[in-house]
Structure 1
Amino acid sequence: MVESYSQNANHNMRRPVVKEEIVDYMRTHLLENQGHLAEIEAFAHEHNIPIIQHEVVAYFRLLMKTLAPKHILEIGTAIGFSALLMAEFAPESQITTIDRNPEMIGLAKENFDQYDSRKQIRLLEGDAVDLIKGLDQEYDFVFMDSAKSKYIVFLPEILKHVKKGGLIVFDDIFQGGDIAKPIEEVRRGQRTIYRGLHRLFDSTLKHPGLTASLIPMSDGLLLLRKDEDDVILSD
């Protein structure tokens, strides 16, 4: 019997951390966006356009400064906020971003014309399934923030364009906690997303060619490091 610790030792380690008050603390204490990023963030909130939450913004600042990726691929441009964020904090990077929503594309183009001063960002218009196949670049960082049910559809082709050692980040992978429920408890309109995300987890979390981490930040992030030159996902 181990006597060094009582049964009540490390009680705090057994409590869920991401409570509402902790989320609020992160969103009010981390460094605010500045300049054009603050303006785009305010526009997104005013018009109910989903962009990455503030704690994820702070995390991306850290990732960009630490990893200093040279070639970035983003699936899901929206109004261009996250692409401009990555450009700001990885100033040597070249960013390819893909979207198919005409209204979002129009707004993103306006923002890129105005704020992409180093001309780092290339916007591709159309369905990612088709456009990914035609990419002629290897990427060391990929950000996936599009249709969640399509993550597993996009991933096999994306892996062909990611360098060994490259990082792929998927946003919104917990679906407000639905992902941990039995499918019968999930609203019918959300079950396609549920199934797609579970296929993603089943294919990646224990894959020998990937290092995976789930991060309970915002609505959840999945991080995958490509550890081998060729990674083939099982069905």
Structure 2
Amino acid sequence: MGGVTFDYMEEYLRELIPDHQGILKDLEEYAVENGVPIIQKETGRFLELMVSITKPKRILELGTAIGYSSILMSLASDKNSQILTIERDEDMVKRANENIDKLGFQNHINILQGDCLEVLEAMEGKFDMIFMDAGKGHYNHFLPHCLRLLHEDGIIIADNVLFRGMVASQDLVKRRKITIVKRMRTYLQMVSEDKDLITSVIPMGDGIAVTKRRKV
């Protein structure tokens, strides 16, 4: 299995999703050629759907890489969302800015360079959607800040929460990944056991958790 579903399921589901063209296709090919991790095809389609349904005005993304998911979300919103994205790696920030400028999206996507946790600690304002895709071993540390920055009816989408199936099965855990797996399990316990939150974990891609506050 490449993700958290059987290979035949993954292949079938991906075949249902039309291939991207233009800049997104170019970025996908660049990511493959250069070993840059970007969201999986079905995860990308899920993000597009969620942006289309919820119509967020402000999106916060943790983990920019080459700007693929930011650009995808901006396109999904028809450039009606303002996206703030955080990336630590200087080379990735440079590459992402080049891609954003190439599309003319610089007025819609803004990159903050720095450590996600440090940037979050100093951040103000509110967001309608927060997409977690950085520092897999730190989602539990990001959560309190994300909840502080989230609008009352906003949503948090966290990628890679099943982490190649290791989070759900101890038999799959590799020794060098033990810390990440333990912390991701902690994150899922936090968002699942908090009575003020409602969370659904979706076994798609590498596992997606969608969290929202319960209505009082």
Question: Taking structure 2 as the reference length, what is the TM-score of the superposition?
Answer: 0.92
SS at the partner of 1:18?
Answer: coil
Deviates more, 1:74-83 or 1:29-38: 29-38
Q: Does 1:186 align with 2:139?
A: no
Do the aligned residues in 2 keep the contact of 1:206 with 1:212 (CA within 8 Å)? no
Do the aligned residues in 1 keep the contact of 2:158 with 2:208 (CA within 8 Å)? yes
Residue 57 of structure 1: aligned partner: 44
Q: How many residues align?
A: 212
The CA deviation at 1:19 is 2.2
Q: Does 1:34 align with 2:28?
A: no
Work out which of the residue numbers 17, 24, 29 in structure 1 matches 2:11: 24
Q: Distance in 1 between matches of 2:174 and 2:45?
A: 32
Q: Which amino acid aligns with 1:53?
A: Q
CA distance 1:179–1:19, shift in 2 (3 Å): same
Matches of residues 55-94 of structure 1 in structure 2 within 5 Å? 55-90=42-77, 91-94=79-82
Q: Distance in 2 between matches of 1:103 and 1:117?
A: 19
Q: Which runs of 5+ in 2 are unaligned?
A: none
Question: Which one has the largest radius of gyration?
Answer: 1
Q: Distance in 2 between matches of 1:118 and 1:47?
A: 24
Do the aligned residues in 2 keep the contact of 1:162 with 1:226 (CA within 8 Å)? no
Residue 107 of structure 1: aligned partner: 95
Q: Distance in 2 between matches of 1:23 and 1:77?
A: 25
Do the aligned residues in 2 keep the contact of 1:163 with 1:226 (CA within 8 Å)? no
Q: Which runs of 5+ in 1 are unaligned?
A: 1-16, 230-235
Q: Distance in 2 between matches of 1:52 and 1:147?
A: 14
Residue 214 of structure 1: aligned partner: 201
Do the aligned residues in 1 keep the contact of 2:13 with 2:42 (CA within 8 Å)? yes
Work out which of the residue numbers 152, 163, 169 in structure 1 matches 2:140: 152
Q: Distance in 2 between matches of 1:94 and 1:171?
A: 20
Identity %: 33
Q: CA RMSD in A?
A: 1.7
Do the aligned residues in 1 keep the contact of 2:100 with 2:106 (CA within 8 Å)? no
Question: Taking structure 1 as the reference length, what is the TM-score of the superposition?
Answer: 0.85
Q: Which has the higher contact order (CA 8 A, sep 6+)?
A: 2
Q: Distance in 1 between matches of 2:204 and 2:169?
A: 19
Do the aligned residues in 1 keep the contact of 2:61 with 2:133 (CA within 8 Å)? yes
